Amino acid sequence: MSDAENLVEVGPASEFEDGDAEIVQVGRAEVGVIRAEGEFYAIRNQCPHDGGPVCKGNVQKELVGEFKGTGKRVDQQYSDTDIISCPWHGWSFELETGIHIGDDRIRVPTYDVVVDDGIVYVDSGD
């Protein structure tokens, strides 16, 4: 387990449903702790586009497609990657990495999540 001094308590893991987000203060940053497919992720609650509350957005699988050529239908399917979309303008980020799905130069900071004895914590990394 991480150094206990660096851990910010979020709450009992049993109170999280898939797609739920709990906002906590980690240092000077507002961070959303999100459960998706049974896994916990922590991502800064500030979209780099316009400062929107990204963690209040929808959690879903990433929709990907393959362009088959002019006049042909795009082959679409959902990937295994969990993403979150900012509710203000729809910018979407991978939950695990914080990387924007359309431009890997754009990123929202992510944090490690620790579940110990049924309690969820965010590691502030300090």
Query: 107-122 burial string, b = 16+ CB within 10 Å, else e?
Result: bbebbebbeeeeebbb
Structure-model confidence comparison of residues 83 and 78, the more confident one: 83
How far is the C-alpha of 68 from the C-alpha of 101, rounded, in Å?
20
Contacts for 78 with CB less than 8 Å, ≥ 6 apart:
60, 61, 62, 63, 64
Domain contains 124: no
- Our count of domains for the chain comes to 1
Please check the confidence at residue 47 and state whether its pLDDT lies above 50. yes
CATH (domain of 32): 2.102.10.10
Domain contains 21: yes
Please check the confidence at residue 106 and state whether its pLDDT lies above 60. yes
Residues 22-49, mean pLDDT to the nearest whole number: 94
Domain contains 125: no
Q: Are 7 and 124 in contact (CB under 8 A)?
A: yes
Q: Confidence class of residue 1 from pLDDT cuts 50, 70 and 90? A: very low
Residues 3-13, mean pLDDT to the nearest whole number: 87
- Closest-CA residue to 110 (of 53, 13, 40): 40
Domain contains 78: yes
Domain contains 119: no
Q: Is 53 left (phi over 0), alpha (psi -120 to 50) or beta?
A: beta
